[in-house]
Structure 1
């Protein structure tokens, strides 16, 4: 199944406390459970005012649906077409 990187602009994100981030995570999980289609949240990276998430879904539209239903921004959704790392150069 395709994987996507989602860029979310969320002012003040880096200053949110763990309880608030937990609530955001719980909301995301609830939306995933209610989508009624294959969908997996892989991980998210929190930075200053942005969050970069990796999700697995059948289409970019499913990613946007998750965002709409959860009330999350999805400013850019890009399909991952390859993966490299230190191992790639060996």
Structure 2
């Protein structure tokens, strides 16, 4: 299933409490369950006034529908083209 990077502009995101993050996660889980299509939230990162999420879905529209149902922004949604890290350096060329 394709992966998508989602950028969410949320003023004060870095100051959200654990309780607030838990409430957002509950909304996200409920939105996923209501979609009726394969959908998976992998992880999210909070930095400054933004939240960056990695989700798996069949298409961008499913990602945007998840955001609508959850009541949170999806300002930028882009498909992940590839993934790499330090381990990639050891692979033969």
TM-score scaled by length of structure 2: 0.95
User: Runs of 4 or more off by more than 4 Å in structure 1?
Assistant: none
**Larger of the two Rg values belongs to structure:** 2
How big is the shift at 1:65? 0.3
Match of 1:32 in 2: 32
Equivalent residues in 2 for 1:76-87 (5 A)?
76-87=76-87
Cα separation, 2, equivalents of 1:34 and 1:68 = 12
SS in 1 for 2:31: helix
CA RMSD for the aligned pairs?
0.5
How big is the shift at 1:70? 0.8
Length, aligned pairs only: 90
TM-score scaled by length of structure 1: 0.98
SS in 1 for 2:52: strand
How big is the shift at 1:16? 1.0
Match of 1:46 in 2: 46
Cα separation, 1, equivalents of 2:89 and 2:83 = 12
Asked if 1:67 corresponds to 2:67, the answer is yes
Unaligned runs of 5+ in 2: none
Cα distance per residue 1:40-90 (max 9 Å; x no partner):
000000111000000000000000000111111000001011011001111
